[in-house]
Amino acid sequence: KAGVTQTPRYLIKTRGQQVTLSCSPISGHRSVSWYQQTPGQGLQFLFEYFSETQRNKGNFPGRFSGRQFSNSRSEMNVSTLELGDSALYLCASSLVSGGAEQYFGPGTRLTVT
Amino acid sequence: AQSVTQLGSHVSVSEGALVLLRCNYSSSVPPYLFWYVQYPNQGLQLLLKYTSAATLVKGINGFEAEFKKSETSFHLTKPSAHMSDAAEYFCAVSEGNQGGKLIFGQGTELSVKP
**B60-97 per-position pLDDT tens digit:** 999 999 999 899 999 999 999 999 999 999 999 987 66
B89 reaches A (C-beta below 8 A):
no
For residues B89 and B110, the answer to whether their CB atoms sit within 8 Å is yes
CA A25/CA B75 separation, integer angstroms: 30
Which pLDDT value is given to residue B96? 66
CB of A105 within 8 Å of a chain B CB? The answer is yes
Residue that wins the pLDDT comparison between B91 and B32: B91
* pLDDT over 90, % of chain A: 91
Q: What is the mean pLDDT of residues A68-95?
A: 97
Ranges A62-71, A88-97, A104-113, B50-59: which has the least confidence: B50-59
Q: B32 to chain A: nearest residue by CA?
A: A99
Contact A48, B99 (CB under 8 A): yes
Judge contact between B77 and B62, C-beta under 8 A: no
Is residue A98 predicted with pLDDT exceeding 80? no
- A28, with CB counted inside 10 A (0-12, 13-18, 19+), is exposed
DSSP bridge partners of A94: A31
Residue B49: closest C-alpha in chain A:
A101
